[in-house]
């Protein structure tokens, strides 16, 4: 992969993962206050890029302890064909183990004040958010997918988190009919609150490093996201 980085300098933490290597890496940021609710940030198919690092930093600036697991093991790309290759070659089970390990890692950190963690993801990461919420049950207190969906036959019966989603009306890769069907499937199978917002925007409208960025939609979705996370990620009983 000629364009992919093989060592990612953005990695600053290592945590346990039930994979062959036994560990995974990621980028963690703690707010200036020193503590806050925990949030997992799940990357787009480009990898753990500067944009994902910026998103983690933005969450920290809002008072959250945020962690982005590096699902590609240090590789990143700006080439769509290469990103597709990275995505296709990513073992779903390994990614699931890495994400589960990230949840455990955050919940065990003393800086994390919430009883559960939030999961926020973009594109590929949006699909992983919903899978993670189904897999982790009551350890995920809020699930926020941005323009990403798992397979339509995904089993959501394990979801315990409320869901807030952001999707673009001009997104040719994620049909709104599928978005609405997914919302109904989650409600039916899990009985949780699901709110999916639609924006006059294309795919990846929050990524301000790409031509798809739409500032008005991005800022509105961000405000909704941070308010939702603050509401849903209640303090843990440390007694």
Calpha distance 133→124 (Å, rounded)? 15
pLDDT value for 4: 43
Separation of alpha carbons 112 and 21, rounded Å: 26
Task: State the average pLDDT over residues 205-234.
Answer: 96
* Rounded distance between C-alpha atoms, residue 236 and residue 7, angstroms: 36
Of residues 227 and 86, which shows the higher confidence score?
227
- Please indicate, yes or no, if residue 2 is contained in any of the structural domains: no
Q: What's residue 21's pLDDT?
A: 61
Three-state DSSP state, 117: strand
pLDDT for residue 197 is more than 70: yes
Neighbouring-strand partners of residue 146: 122, 166
Is 136 a domain residue? yes
Measured between alpha carbons, how far is 80 from 58 in angstroms, rounded to an integer?
A: 25
> How much of the chain exceeds pLDDT 90, in percent?
68
pLDDT reading at 46 higher than 90:
no
204 — phi, psi (to 5°)?
Answer: 60, 40
Q: Which two tokens stand for residue 103?
A: 């949840």
pLDDT above 80 for 77 = no
Can you read off the two tokens belonging to residue 189? 């199978």
> What residue numbers bound the domain in which 169 lies?
13-232
Q: What's the number of domains the chain is made of?
A: 1
Residue 238 inside a domain? The answer is: no
Span 166-193, mean pLDDT? Answer: 96
Q: What residues contact residue 156 under an 8 Å CB cut-off, 6+ apart?
A: 130, 133, 134, 185, 186, 189, 190
Residue 218: give its domain's CATH number: 3.40.50.1820
* Paired tokens of 20: 């062959």
Q: Which residue has the higher pLDDT, 190 or 72?
A: 190
pLDDT at residue 79, as a whole number? 62
How far apart, in whole angstroms, are the C-alpha atoms of residue 205 and residue 172? Answer: 13
Give the integer Cα–Cα distance in Å for 160 and 165: 15
Q: What is the pLDDT of residue 95?
A: 75
Question: For tokens 């809020």, what's the residue?
Answer: 142
Residue 86 scores a pLDDT above 70:
no
Q: How confident is the model at residue 234 (pLDDT cuts 50, 70, 90)?
A: confident
- Give the pLDDT confidence score for residue 19 in this predicted structure: 58
Question: Token pair 């500067």 is at which residue?
Answer: 50
Please report whether residue 214 resides in a domain: yes
Neighbours of 236 (CB within 10 A): 14
Distance (Å, whole) CA 208 – CA 29 = 20
Q: CA–CA separation, 86 vs 125, rounded Å?
A: 13
Q: What are the residues whose beta carbons fall under 8 Å from the beta carbon of 53, sequence distance 6 or more?
A: 10, 27, 68
Residues comprising the chain, all counted: 239
Q: Region 83-94: what's the mean pLDDT?
A: 65
Give domain status of residue 239, yes or no: no
**Contact between residue 50 and residue 65 where contact means Cβ atoms under 8 Å apart:** no
Question: What's the pLDDT tens digit per position in 105-162?
Answer: 999 999 999 999 999 999 989 999 999 999 999 999 999 999 999 999 999 999 999 9
Residue 30 in any domain: the answer is yes
């Amino acid at each position: 992969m000629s364009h992919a980085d093989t060592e990612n300098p953005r990695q600053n933490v290592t945590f346990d993962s039930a994979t062959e290597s036994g560990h995974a890496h990621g980028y963690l940021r703690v707010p200036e206050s020193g503590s806050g609710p925990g949030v997992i940030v799940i990357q787009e198919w480009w990898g753990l890029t500067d944009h994902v690092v910026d998103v983690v930093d933005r969450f920290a600036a809002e008072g959250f302890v945020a962690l982005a697991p590096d699902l590609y093991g240090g590789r990143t790309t700006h080439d769509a064909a290469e990103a597709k290759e990275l995505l296709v070659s990513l073992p779903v089970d390994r990614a699931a183990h890495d994400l589960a390990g990230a949840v455990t890692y955050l919940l065990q950190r003393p800086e994390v004040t919430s009883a559960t963690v939030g999961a926020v993801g973009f594109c590929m990461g949006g699909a992983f958010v919903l899978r993670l919420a189904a897999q982790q049950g009551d350890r995920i207190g809020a699930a926020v997918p941005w323009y990403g969906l798992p397979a339509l036959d995904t089993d959501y019966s394990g979801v315990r988190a409320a869901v807030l989603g952001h999707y673009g009306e001009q997104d040719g890769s994620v049909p709104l009919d599928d978005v609405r069907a997914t919302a109904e499937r989650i409600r039916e199978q899990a009985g949780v609150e699901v709110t999916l917002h639609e924006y006059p925007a294309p795919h990846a409208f929050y990524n301000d490093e790409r031509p798809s960025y739409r500032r008005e939609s991005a800022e509105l979705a961000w405000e909704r996201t941070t308010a939702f996370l603050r509401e849903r990620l209640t303090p843990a009983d440390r007694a």
